[in-house]
Amino acid sequence: MKTALPLILILLACTGLWLAFRTRRRSLGRQRAIHELLNAADALEARLRTARGEIEAVAGDHENPVRGAMQDLLRQRLWLQEHARDASLEQLHGVRAGLDAARASLETQLQRIAQARAGAA
């Protein structure tokens, strides 16, 4: 009986440490995901701002896809502001994937513009 109580206390302490470590690791993963998501949003916004002039020169103001992309980016930022604390890692990764897809689409559009300009010259 004398050895059982210390063993149980040691086991409980180890379990508590393991749970604390696991919770901390999850928290760091969420923080990292949010940080990467914000960095991706900032990079996309910067790219949209620099691309705006090129796209407007070809498409004009009324057909400019940058406006819609900026609105989508704003919606994503508002969602993150409202739901970052409660969002699952999967949701955060999904939003990040959406930002990455939007950036890839923008790059494709810019390549088409560059090709069109090169063909017209």
Tens-digit pLDDT profile for residues 40-64: 888 888 888 888 877 777 666 566 6
Higher pLDDT, 94 or 24: 94
pLDDT at 89: 85
Write out the chain in H/E/C secondary structure.
CCCHHHHHHHHHHHHHHHHHHHHHHHHHHHHHHHHHHHHHHHHHHHHHHHHHHHHHHHHCCCCCHHHHHHHHHHHHHHHHHHHCCCCCHHHHHHHHHHHHHHHHHHHHHHHHHHHHHHHHC
Residue 26's pLDDT is what?
Answer: 66
Average pLDDT (59-80) is 76
